[in-house]
Structure 1
Amino acid sequence: MKTTLFYIGIVLALLVSSCSKILDTTPQDFVSPVNYYNTESDLQSALAGVYDRLGDNRVYGQGMSCYMVFSDEFFMKNQTSGINANIVDASTLEVNRHWESIYTGIERANMLLDNMDKAVKVSEEKRNEIKGQALFLRAYYYFLLTDEFGAVPLKLESTKTPEEPPLPATPVKDIYERIVADMKLAEGMVKSVADYGYNTRITKTTVQGVLARVYLTMAGFPLNDVAKYADAKAYAEKVMQSGLHGLNPDFKQIYINHVQEIFDTRENLWEVEFKGQNKGEIQEGGMIGSYNGITCGIIDIGYGYDYVHATAKLYNAYANGDQRKDWTVAPFRYVTTGTTAVKTNWAADQIYDRSNGKWRREYELNLPRDQSYNATNWPLLRYADVLLMYAEADNYVNSGPSAEAYKAINAVRRRGYGKDVLVPDVQADAPANLSQPDFLDLIRNERLRELAFEGLRKHDLVRWGIYPTVMQAQVREYQANMPAALKDAAIAQAQRVTDRAVLFPIPNSELAVNPNIKQNTGW
């Protein structure tokens, strides 16, 4: 890692922006810290490079929307080889590139943090705004790495020479302490989303919402520090009391907005912004809705690769009247004949044939469409998630759900049923007087229904300490109920989720240059 990051730092080919709202300057190549980081434009360009790694194909552009987050909500149709089949080892290209991409983001953040005080003509307020975002992004990248790989090298300064000794892995607890410290520092530096009007920059409520997620993770596996439930509740409550966020009354509109590059800052606290179609312009398209979207063989309509299919567990989790079902799990596909495609509904018993329906390419405005790439944004934090995190933390802190926890989860449920979120509804509202374990079970299922296909389910199952157990139950479900044409590949994918799969293997690209790090157990 050290040699790679050194040359990344010197060349600084970090300025290819994925975010039109983050970078308004012309990218430059082959600059060094000696003559850089002097102006606000320099700092903003460097910051854009830190953000840029979020949109990498092996991060949120593709990997973390499907093949890196296998769970009980989806399987990859008839995929029998490579990472699409959940076949992973230390040499897997996508895992190596994922690690390298995130550490590139960390190195870029370190370079900016190490050098930004050179910009003496930039106001302290502006430098703090940029510094807060860089601190948060570095912490967020470490949150991803630790969640996925466990103990990893904690590097907090940029590489100055390739002769620097490689770092050993830092204990998970220590990494989380640094994540929390940096995020709390960032909270006091970054601006409000009201100052921007878009949600691809880090803002105060974004920091607070992600801190709630970090604390919930610390409360669960592997640290099991249950005192952190109170912190998770407090930070979720900060977002709720800010007055800046609320639920979009129309569930499907959340995802239409993502496809059409409409910034709904009330529902969506933070998004990865994609732009263009990777056709030579200095923009970064993603594959949301193509790699993980509705089956379609015609580019003009919106090509879908037919990979990510819903499970019966997800489909059946929705009760009658829950409008999220037919938007989340597409009730149709496009049947292609020659150069034409006809929208065709699935039969009632064709559950496992159905695709992820959240990001529908028919709504794209950037025409003509590309087969793979588009400008659909990816949600990193939604207000519904904040409400559900609050309810989960409250349930633990109070040894059962308070009225406020019920209020939070019922708002999410009412919106799902197309109801007014403020008005009690017999059909939508959660059963009253649930015990602490029963309310937790409700939360687990509500997060499945609300956040399906948004890359969080595996994370949730891991922090609840039930990932292998749940996936082995999926094996039995597939064996019993999945159509013969689909079951063999899906069974094999789920069977590979054993205790060792809670963490990815440390990549060979790191092991080859770092004698001070050990491979994860079982790999």
Structure 2
Amino acid sequence: MKNIYKTWALAGLAFATTLTSCSDFLDQTSPSEMFPETVYNAEGYTQQALNKVYAGLVLDHTYGCRIPLNFSTNSDIELVDALTQETTTADSERGLCSYNAPNWNRLANNWSEMFEIIENANLVIEGIRGSEIRENENMRYYLGEALTLRAMVYFDLIKHYGDVPMKMESTKSDGSNLYLEKTDRDVIMDSLLVDLQEAAELLPWVGEAGYTSEHCTKGFAYGLAARIALAEAGYAIRETPKEGYVNLSEKREGQLGYSDPTYPTMRPGDEKRRELYELALNCLDAIITSGRHQLNPSYEDEWYRINQLTLDQTYYENIFEVAHGLNYSGEMGYTAGVRINTAGSPFGFSNSSGKVKLTAPFFMSFDPEDVRRDITCAPYELRDVTATQTFTNAPFGIYVAKWDVRKMTEEWRAQNAAVSTKTGYGINWVVMRYSDVLLMYAEVVNELYGPNGSGTCGKSAMEALAEVRSRAFNGNAEKVSQYVAQAAGSKESFFDAIVDERAWELAGEAVRKYDLIRWGLLIDKTVEMLDSYKHAIENDEYVADLYYKESAGADPWYLVDYSSVCWYEEPESTNDYKSVSFWGNVKKDGVIPDDNSTYDALNYISSGLISYDKYAGFQGAAGPVINRHVWPIHTTTINDSNGHLKNSYGFN
């Protein structure tokens, strides 16, 4: 995470070398002009070729910004900073995240750079398979890494574009496989699952053979396979109806989201779905049984380490991280995180922290004793040259506190003080955490066997949920057990608890939207969030003035005594309290004014997905196609496809 990618982070051309530390990426020896039989019959050169695949992950248009930040909103808990007609239809990430998909030129960049990663992975896979030393232990590891990286990239292409070309071999010299038609997404995912089963057999566990969470390991291959299996088992918008598949409208009575007649939202039939859940369970069982990954007992400490650019080599909760380099790459903390609304001491250049915001209904959904709320949600910013902590009255603009400049290193601070423009924060993007594994496990076991069922690891679905929730409540066993027991009354109520827990645990981590899509709940939960806010304002459920006390002698950027904040009601006596206007301060003389811009935002949030009126509520699905959660293929990409690609899902 530090001193990384000094050359190829800028150009993306040279090879680099790493195993135990991302700082080793500075090795720039390049085998790019050698013959494949030379490269792949030498472990060192093969390792460098593999690192070119990793190099593609740090670019802005792949996993530096687009995948973890720009593409993962909107959901019911996460919003892009777009709350007006103009911003939600802009030819930018704001229009994109609002489901008013524009012909945004950065989509072409994302498409081409993702397929470049796949091309480089194909070269490594073919080179190792044809190598004379392919059975060497390190070569087996490298093959497993390349298979896993290719699967991750392909899965993210499918999530964002739907059906895409399936290119599992490098480009031939005669160009015969250069232009390809689309392949059904399920066919691609079935192939990826086979690859990941092979990769899991080849790879070491994290902590073995010098492998850290910045490399693909056995745990990530299993975890990614489970994630893909659950996605394939769930709902997705389709280019054409599929025989034997189930339409979203057939799921349950009263559901708001439903299937488009031309581009239906469907999931596989029960037999295929059970097969995929059983595959996911086998993978999750393997991770849990290994004991290699655990929860850090402190949720706060886990995120402190991430901000400190420190790998967790005690608990290995982070199963895989995309490695970034300070001053070279990474927008976690810059584009998502606590806002620095000034340029000056003590933090230096101000950040953006605007593209991923959380909502007031999500904040209020937390149990007040849940420690994750204040580590996840920042309804404040750091303002003025002294970086004073100041509350903001923005119910749809809560910053993601998991990335917090106050927790970053002195090295980061010195760097940020010396720049006058955006620079790489160097914070790794965590692709998967062990808590995600536990919650997927609880979901799968419940689906197959109910809340009391278990996998071969012996852990019940209830126990897996309780393990995640126990950390959130500092081990308050009675509180946790009561909640889990109540949730376990039925498969349906336990599923609802999983839906909630995954929001509280994983908010801001590019997970939620894709969960809602596969569950068929993207429209339902978005409307539920807007209804919740609307009801709260109409019935005066939010405080109009937020009262709090300041910490005596505290540094200005930790000014607020958080234990004193009166989130839910005003104090009986306001002596010694300070106050600011807050979320409930909307009405004038008991009436919501028509020109209140925050309340007016109800008309525009996710306006390409749903039609919502701030007074009348949900008006139905919006746009030319129901449930359209994918992006268009950019005009440039289509023009370059030699007639083999065209847009679907109602895009021109």
The TM-score bracket by the shorter chain reads 0.7 to 0.9
Structure 2 residue 352 is matched with structure 1 residue 298: no
Q: Which residue of structure 2 aligns with residue 281 of structure 1? A: none
Q: Which residue of structure 1 aligns with residue 197 of structure 2? A: 184
- The Cα shift of 1:516 comes to 2.3
CA deviations over 1:43-75 (Å, ceiling 9, x no partner): 111111112222221233222333211111122
Report percent identity of matched pairs.
Answer: 25
Shift in alpha-carbon separation, 1:471–1:350, aligned structure 2, 3 A: closer
CA deviations over 1:111-132 (Å, ceiling 9, x no partner): 1122235654676222111011
Contact 1:414 1:429 (8 Å CA) reproduced: no
- The Cα shift of 1:89 comes to 3.9
For 1:67, give the aligned amino acid: N
Q: Which residue of structure 2 aligns with residue 226 of structure 1? A: 273
Q: Which residue of structure 1 aligns with residue 435 of structure 2? A: 384
Identify the structure with the greater helix proportion. Answer: 1
Structure 2 residue 503 is matched with structure 1 residue 459: no
Q: Which residue of structure 2 aligns with residue 287 of structure 1? A: 331
Q: Which residue of structure 2 aligns with residue 204 of structure 1? A: 218
User: 1:204, 1:182 → 2: CA distance?
Assistant: 12
1:126 maps to which of 134, 138, 141: 138
1:160 maps to which of 160, 166, 172: 172
Q: Is the deviation greater in 324-333 or in 449-458?
A: 324-333
Q: Which residue of structure 2 aligns with residue 75 of structure 1? A: 79
Contact 1:401 1:434 (8 Å CA) reproduced: no
Contact 2:128 2:134 (8 Å CA) reproduced: no
Contact 2:359 2:396 (8 Å CA) reproduced: yes
Q: Which residue of structure 1 aligns with residue 630 of structure 2? A: 503
Higher relative contact order (CA 8 A, sep 6+): 1
Q: Which residue of structure 1 aligns with residue 22 of structure 2? A: 20
User: 1:268, 1:22 → 2: CA distance?
Assistant: 20
Shift in alpha-carbon separation, 1:209–1:63, aligned structure 2, 3 A: same
For 2:186, give the aligned amino acid: K
Larger radius of gyration: 2
User: 1:259, 1:214 → 2: CA distance?
Assistant: 28
Contact 1:12 1:29 (8 Å CA) reproduced: no
- The Cα shift of 1:318 comes to 0.6
Q: Which residue of structure 1 aligns with residue 559 of structure 2? A: none
1:363 maps to which of 404, 407, 410: 407
Shift in alpha-carbon separation, 1:507–1:519, aligned structure 2, 3 A: same
Shift in alpha-carbon separation, 1:121–1:396, aligned structure 2, 3 A: closer
In the alignment of these two chains, the number of paired residues is 501
Q: Which residue of structure 2 aligns with residue 272 of structure 1? A: 322
- The Cα shift of 1:100 comes to 1.5
Could you tell me which runs of 5 or more consecutive residues in structure 1 were left unpaired when the two chains were aligned.
1-10, 279-284
Q: TM-score, normalised by structure 1?
A: 0.88
Q: Which residue of structure 2 aligns with residue 4 of structure 1? A: none
The residue correspondences of 1:61-460 to structure 2 (distance < 5 A) are: 61-70=64-73, 71-78=75-82, 80=87, 81-87=90-96, 89=101, 91-116=103-128, 120=132, 124-161=136-173, 163-164=175-176, 165-195=178-208, 196=210, 198-222=212-236, 223-224=267-268, 225-227=272-274, 228-265=276-313, 266-278=316-328, 285-296=329-340, 297-298=342-343, 300-301=346-347, 303-307=350-354, 308-336=356-384, 339-345=385-391, 351-365=395-409, 366-367=411-412, 368-370=414-416, 371-402=422-453, 404-419=460-475, 423-426=477-480, 429-432=483-486, 433-460=488-515
User: 1:154, 1:121 → 2: CA distance?
Assistant: 28
- The Cα shift of 1:326 comes to 0.7
Contact 1:324 1:450 (8 Å CA) reproduced: yes
> Aligned-pair RMSD on alpha carbons?
2.7
Shift in alpha-carbon separation, 1:64–1:73, aligned structure 2, 3 A: farther
Could you tell me which runs of 5 or more consecutive residues in structure 2 were left unpaired when the two chains were aligned.
1-10, 237-266, 417-421, 455-459, 538-582, 587-595, 610-621
Q: Which residue of structure 2 aligns with residue 492 of structure 1? A: 604
User: 2:608, 2:303 → 1: CA distance?
Assistant: 31
Contact 1:67 1:84 (8 Å CA) reproduced: yes
Secondary structure in 1 aligned to 2:334?
coil
Secondary structure in 1 aligned to 2:399?
coil
Secondary structure in 1 aligned to 2:175?
coil
Q: Is the deviation greater in 491-500 or in 247-256?
A: 491-500
Shift in alpha-carbon separation, 1:374–1:126, aligned structure 2, 3 A: same
Shift in alpha-carbon separation, 1:291–1:27, aligned structure 2, 3 A: farther
Q: Which residue of structure 2 aligns with residue 8 of structure 1? A: none
Secondary structure in 2 aligned to 1:494?
coil
Identify the structure with the greater strand proportion. Answer: 2
User: 2:137, 2:80 → 1: CA distance?
Assistant: 48
Secondary structure in 1 aligned to 2:79?
strand
For 2:320, give the aligned amino acid: W
Shift in alpha-carbon separation, 1:40–1:25, aligned structure 2, 3 A: farther
Q: TM-score, normalised by structure 2?
A: 0.71
Shift in alpha-carbon separation, 1:473–1:32, aligned structure 2, 3 A: farther
User: 1:517, 1:168 → 2: CA distance?
Assistant: 6
User: 1:306, 1:489 → 2: CA distance?
Assistant: 20
